[in-house]
Structure 1
Amino acid sequence: MAETLTKTELEHALFSAADSLRSKMDANEYKDYLLGIIFYKYLSDKLLYQVGELIEGRTDLSLEECQKIYSANYKDEDLLDELKETLMYLVEPKHTFTYIFEEINGEARTEDGNIKTFQISDLADAFNDIEGTSEEFEGLFQDVQLYSQKLGINAQKQTDTISEVIKAIGKLKLISADGKSDALGDAYEYLIGQFASETGKKAGEFYTPQKVSELLTKLTLVGKKYPEELTVYDPAMGSGSLLLNFKKYINDVGGKEDNVIYYGQEINISTYNLAKMNMILHGVASGNQHLRHGDTLDEDWPPISQTMFDAVVMNPPYSHNWSANKGFLQDPRFSPYGVLAPKSKADFAFLLHGFYHLKNTGTMAIVLPHGVLFRGAAEGKIRKKLLENGSIDAVIGLPANLFYNTSIPTVILVLKKNKEKRDVMFIDASKGFEKKKNQNELREEDIQKILETYEKREDVDRYAHLAKYDEIEENDFNLNIPRYVDTFVPEPPVDLKKVASDLHDTDVEIEKNQKELVGMLKELTSDNRDVMDGLDAIIKELEAELHE
């Protein structure tokens, strides 16, 4: 077996594995097959390596060697109990990825020595093995529709298509024998991003671009130290990429990635399952992840008595419809504001939900459309109340066309509780980006400039302004960024004397050229009387202009 691939090698190899599916369905569908089968291989490989270590005490065995050991010891109840306790799942030897890969290549044998050929039902049984082991894995593979006619018009065609996918990733060493998969987690994130790029507007259901995720995460960590536990929450978590950024950046604030406790909720069951896979592939311990499939606005979760959060991050669906039932006026998330977000625009409903779950010492960062800054009626009342309480800490305008599901410019609102002052830091970062083929993208220098400006809270010409509460009140609590940050660049003053001098020089040059032209015309001759009469007329006209 080859050495574990680097992150870049994995990225390219995994994405190219989708070739056998691209001609049959769009990216929003085939991502479920590829991501699901990669996840299955990861679980299978991890189990086999665990068997090799438990039975032989070795971490240098190949998957094929571990497969043989597992087949020989499968009836050992102690082994199975140990595996289930350690990994939380089981899969029979005849349902491991390694065995199925051997079936596809004609190398697998039944107990009586006959060649075992791969059938689509073998993979379905493998998925059932894993899903039936524990509640944590229940329904994880439900979007991998193995009997879909999009794979083929009959069972054999479906088997052939899936075989091609399995062969494409069969030789990839996704994890090392000691169970580490750091590169795989990042490569999986890359795959999700690539699928988001291909699916366009549908990507809004499950993916926040990585650079935006990085910015949101780092904004909540500015000025903080977390040597102990850090609790983070995303009430509209999608594929979980926003939450997983805390694993990347917790070391920057003195913390440890094992001390991050993740909470997330997602209404779309397919995306919820993707987030669970993403967490597992990034090595997040089961005790550190608390993910829930549910409607964040209609049913509050988690219970406020259970936990409040050091950081809340969110990129919810923009101007989303929600019930706005009058009963929510008694809901503690919304009741302090006296009104509800409009039924056709749930932006402030998402914001208030997240803010309600924030610790008094915590920070929240949420991406929303610019309308939340200036729309009136109920939204204006909610905004005014937040400003009166000093809850809005910063307003950061982002470039347009950052997201796959919309080209509109968006804004990040940073919120805190129990602030000493009610000032608001306005940052217009709409010009800082790199233009890519389909989307704009924040650069690392753009992110650092935003973070440094936010932390310093000082005016920056045509970029940032720290607005006092009185100034905001004078603007009737309208937070539209141009009211506070003037990005207009005046034209340089015109030097009239230089303009007059340039005009004079131009006139002199024109007169010189006309004289030369008259001289050349006088030298022209022709036997044609009409031509000569025409030339004489032109010469007289030019000479008259020169004498004026």
Structure 2
Amino acid sequence: MSTDIKSLGSFVWSIAELLRGDFKQSEYGKVILPFIVLRRLDCILDETKSAVLDMASSLPADMDDEARDTLLAGVVGQNIRLYNLSRFTFATLKGQDAKDIHKNLIEYVTKFSPNVRDIFLDKFLFTDQLKRLNDAGLLFQVFDRFTQIDLHLNKVSNIEMGYLFEDLIRRFSEISNETAGEHYTPREVIRLIVSLLLVNDKEALTGSGVIRQIYDPAAGTGGMLSIAEMEMKELNERIRVELFGQELNPESFAICKSDMLVTGHNPENIAFGNTLTQDAHAGKRFHYMLSNPPYGVDWKKYADPIKDEAAELGMQGRFGAGLPRISDGQLLFLQHMISKMRNDEQGTRIGIVMNGSPLFTGGAGSGESEIRRWMLENDWVEAIIALPTDLFYNTGIQTYVWLLTNRKDPARRGKVQLIDASGERFWKPMRKSLGSKRREIPQDATDEIARIYHDMLNGNSDWADVSKIFDTTDFGYREIRVERPLKLRVEWSEGGKEALLEAKPFQKLDEGSQAKALTLVQSLLSGGHWMNADSFAKAMDDLFKKSGLKFGAPVKKAILNAFTERDEEAETCTDKKGNPEADTTLRDHELVPLGEDWKDYVAREVTPFVPDAWVDESYTDTQDGKVGRVGYEINFNRYFYQYVPPRPLEEIDAELKTLEAEIAGLLKEVVA
């Protein structure tokens, strides 16, 4: 961010201070952001104002609205798709009587072209804020301060406007405890993602007649889209870039749509609403997709339509691969993006920023694991890059860039590249922190990460601890269920008697039956304990029959539960078919690498240590029906872990003695 933009941001922030007392801090943005957009549009339309009004007066009253809009926007030129038919500008409004400012501003705003009126009236709800300002006697003061800002295109570029919006949103979010990260992504992170998406496509993007479509399902203020376009234009100024997006937050949507209007893009390509439940671009396919969806945000309140789509459409819909846990919807966004991949020769490339959860959360058979399985078995995942911590304005957690494509180069097929770009060589500290953002990725580090990815470095020389390439199957495993036999010792105890008397099946018996059953059980156990629970159960059953007692299975089970204890020295219990009965408390699960036969694994890793264990072969995978459930996880720490030996004890001891001496000295000073 340039010094000028920082200064401009500080000046705008000072305007927000005028609102103190009459507005809550959380409401500052609802006033300042639309005023910034309004001032920007006023500056852009300033030079052509008279020409637009002249054209409007010459057009027939019964002219088609669409044709009228096209002609009037054409007068503005520069591919700007908007106009204003009010007689006012900020300059002329300032010259009017201050008491008329509310009425005149309303006229000014409502005389914009329909695509801009929608932004101010429906999304910013700007007329409500103007009324509140007017009622508080602040409207003219705030307006007057905004007239002092020069936002003409030759003074502030669209990229710089993006920086300004981000700086203001961050500040407003901090004072109101909102999540700034849901609105935008730091620009150097976006540049890294775009560099990774384009580094292998430079040749395909050159020449004339090239058209590319870019999509962001969580567009925010449009930063990702605008930077992606800018980077493409630098590669080929003749390229035609079409931008598409959808955004749920009304203020962010309004900013993004106004940016599209100013930069000559079709504003209708930016949709308002929930991407996951109301796909505004259903059926569309895109060349490039990039996004930074919210981290750890639950989707409970709109879960029903998502679950319905998954159940009704299955793999023909967006969420057929699986549903992640309700507390985090990141993988829903990724599945949505995959559903919009092009199936032609050009295919699609995806870049998405997520936290660590999608890498490893969820065991075999879970929604997360099944989604990872679907992506890896379809060979869409090309690379995953671990970013430094403390990059984002609202969180310091570890984040990762996932790169996916359905047109892998032959050398990458069946492979996934992991890049650990979290080390000090890839970031530098900021001179002044911005919220939780304390670090940034310099351009030379961005270039280096892109080169590591492009060259497919695989543990080469200086990058042995940074880049590694794996087969997609290396992340998969079969979770097999290992059982151990149930071994029970049966013996009489007063505690067991009390437990039996409290058991519901036993309480249903009359008092006489209860007393007789207890007497018979005690008689069986009077000679000591039984090391074979099956033999005891048979003997008890025979004794009950001889005594005329007819108890159901629940009562007999309650008796066994009351007087049995697990004992490794006891004999194994068996089921009705004579098979060993499993002790569920000793049940374990082993993760067998996909490339290995589970029988060989058990023979090597289980049987030598637990000879009586066996594998439950009824525990099978729902997709291939084989023994064990297939799971996938990507654990960066496992692949990039570096052992750091502890300090020598002598060094630690010496440090402790030094600290003790310092503490003793401080205590003496206190006493003195």
Q: TM-score, normalised by structure 2?
A: 0.60
By how many angstroms is 1:339 displaced? 2.6
1:430 has 2:422 as partner: yes
1:189 and 2:162 are equivalent in the alignment = yes
Q: What letter is aligned with 2:466?
A: Y
Q: Distance in 1 between matches of 2:267 and 2:180?
A: 27
- Judged with a 3 Å threshold, the aligned counterparts in structure 2 of structure 1 residues 261 and 26 are, in CA distance, closer, same or farther, namely farther
- Please name the residue that 1:91 is paired with: 84
**Paired positions, count:** 449
User: For 1:189-231, what per-residue CA distance to the aligned partner results, in whole angstroms no more than 9, with x for missing partners?
Assistant: 1212212332234212311111111112222112113231111
Aligned-residue sequence identity (percent) comes to 21
**Equivalents in 2 of 1:90, 1:418: separation in Å?**
42
Q: CA–CA distance in 2 between the matches of 1:137 and 1:256?
A: 32
Which string of whole-angstrom CA distances, capped at 9 and with x for unpartnered residues, describes residues 104-161 of structure 1?
xx6xxxxxxxxx754223212211221xx32454133552645559965x62x44xx3
Q: Distance in 1 between matches of 2:318 and 2:170?
A: 39
2:442 corresponds to 1:465: no
- The equivalences for 1:113-192 within 5 A come to 117-130=99-112, 133-135=113-115, 137-141=117-121, 142-143=123-124, 145=126, 148=129, 155=135, 157-158=136-137, 161-175=138-152, 180-181=153-154, 183-192=156-165
Which of 633, 636, 656 lines up with 1:481 in the alignment?
636
Specify the alignment match of 1:522 in structure 2.
none
SS of alignment partner, residue 37 of structure 1:
helix
1:390 aligned partner: 379
| Structure 1 counterpart of 2:193, from 212, 216, 222 | 216
Structure 1: how far apart are the matches of 2:213 and 2:267?
A: 9
Q: CA deviation at 1:356?
A: 1.4
For residues 116-515 of structure 1, the aligned pairs below 5 Å read 117-130=99-112, 133-135=113-115, 137-141=117-121, 142-143=123-124, 145=126, 148=129, 155=135, 157-158=136-137, 161-175=138-152, 180-181=153-154, 183-198=156-171, 199-200=173-174, 201-224=178-201, 225-227=204-206, 228-256=210-238, 259-281=240-262, 283=263, 285-287=264-266, 290-304=269-283, 307-322=284-299, 323=303, 324-329=306-311, 330=313, 332=315, 334=317, 337-360=320-343, 361-376=347-362, 377-419=366-408, 420=410, 421-431=413-423, 432-436=426-430, 437=433, 438=435, 439-440=437-438, 441-458=440-457, 459=459, 460-473=463-476, 474=593, 477-488=632-643
Q: Helix, strand or coil for the counterpart of 1:230?
A: strand
Q: Deviations over 1:422-463 (max 9, x none)?
A: 111101112232333241322223322221111111122221
Q: Structure 2: any 5+ residue segments left out of the alignment?
A: 62-67, 477-592, 595-630, 652-672
Deviates more, 1:410-419 or 1:17-26: 17-26
| Paired AA for residue 273 in structure 1 | A
Partners of 1:395 and 1:414 within 8 A in 2: yes
Which whole-Å CA distance do the structure 2 matches of 1:27 and 1:422 have between them? Answer: 52
In the TM superposition, residue 97 of structure 1 has moved relative to its aligned partner by: 1.6
Q: More deviation in 399-408 or 264-273?
A: 399-408
Partner in structure 2 of residue 42 of structure 1: 40
Q: Is the 8 A contact 1:333 1:352 kept in 2?
A: no
Distance 1:331 1:168, change over 3 A: farther
Aligned 8 A contact 2:184 2:220 in 1: yes
Q: 1-side partners of 2:354 and 2:453: how far apart?
A: 18
Superposed displacement of residue 378, structure 1:
1.4
Distance 1:450 1:242, change over 3 A: same
Say if 2:297 and 2:328, in contact at 8 Å, map to a contact too. yes
CA distance in 1, matches of 2:25, 2:230: 28
Q: Supply the AA of the counterpart residue of 2:401.
A: I
Please say if residues 315 and 368 of structure 1, whose CA atoms lie closer than 8 Å, have aligned partners that are also in contact.
yes
Q: Which has the larger radius of gyration?
A: 2
Post-superposition offset of 1:385: 1.9
CA distance in 1, matches of 2:271, 2:157: 24
Structure-1 separation of matches of 2:322 and 2:75: 49
CA distance in 2, matches of 1:8, 1:435: 18
Q: 3-state SS of the aligned residue for 2:156?
A: helix
**Distance in 1 separating the partners of 2:388 and 2:415:** 24
How far apart, CA to CA, are the structure 2 residues paired with 1:405 and 1:13?
22
Cα distance in 2 for residues equivalent to 1:469 and 1:244: 33
Give the drift of 1:44.
2.9
**Alpha-carbon distance between aligned partners in 2 of 1:194 and 1:362, rounded to the nearest angstrom:** 32
Question: Residues 506-545 of structure 1: matches in 2 within 5 Å?
Answer: none
* Structure-2 change in CA distance of 1:256 and 1:320 (3 Å): farther
Is 1:333–1:356's contact at 8 Å kept on the other side of the alignment? Answer: no
Q: How far 1:311 sits from its partner (Å)?
A: 0.7
* Contact 1:333/1:353 (<8 A) preserved: no
> Residue 346 of structure 1: CA displacement?
1.6
Whether contact under 8 Å (1:319, 1:346) holds in the other structure is: yes
User: What amino acid maps onto 1:174 in structure 2?
Assistant: L
User: What is the DSSP-based 3-state SS (H/G/I as helix, E as strand, rest coil) of the residue aligned with 1:204?
Assistant: helix
SS at match of 2:205: coil
* 390-399 or 76-85: bigger deviation: 76-85
Asked whether the equivalents of residues 217 and 246 of structure 1 are also in contact (C-alpha less than 8 Å), the reply is yes
Report if aligned partners of 1:213, 1:242 keep a CA contact under 8 Å in 2: yes
Q: Distance in 1 between matches of 2:448 and 2:28?
A: 38
Question: Structure 1: how far apart are the matches of 2:267 and 2:186?
Answer: 24
Contact persistence 1:260–1:288 (CA under 8 A): no
User: How far off is 1:93 after superposition?
Assistant: 4.5
Structure 1 stretch displaced more, 380-389 or 33-42: 33-42
Asked if 1 retains the 8 angstrom alpha-carbon contact of 2:260 and 2:267, the reply is no
Rounded Cα–Cα distance in structure 1 between residues aligned with 2:226 and 2:318:
32
Most deviating of 350-359 and 413-422 = 413-422
Query: Taking structure 1 as reference, are residues 252 and 117 closer, same or farther at Cα in structure 2, changes over 3 Å only?
Result: same
| Alignment partners' CA distance in 2, 1:396 and 1:234 | 20
CA deviation profile, 1:75-101 (whole Å, cap 9, x unmatched): 444798743554554434443222112
Name 1:33's counterpart in structure 2: 31
Q: Normalising to structure 1: TM-score of the pair?
A: 0.73
| Contact map agreement 2:243 2:265 (CA 8 A) in 1 | no
Q: 2:188 aligns to what SS in structure 1?
A: helix
CA contact (8 A) 1:204 1:317 kept: yes
Determine helix, strand or coil for the equivalent of 2:357. Answer: helix
How far did 1:35 drift?
Answer: 3.2
**Deviations 1:364-396 (CA, angstroms, capped at 9, x unpaired):** 011112111112211111111211111111111
Give, as a single letter, the amino acid of the residue that structure 1 aligns with 2:278: E
Q: Give how far 1:313 is off.
A: 0.3
Aligned to 1:49, the other structure's residue is in SS state coil
SS at match of 1:406: coil
Corresponding residue SS for 1:358: coil
Q: Which secondary structure does the structure 1 equivalent of 2:48 belong to? A: helix
Pair 1:17–1:196, CA change in 2 (3 A):
closer
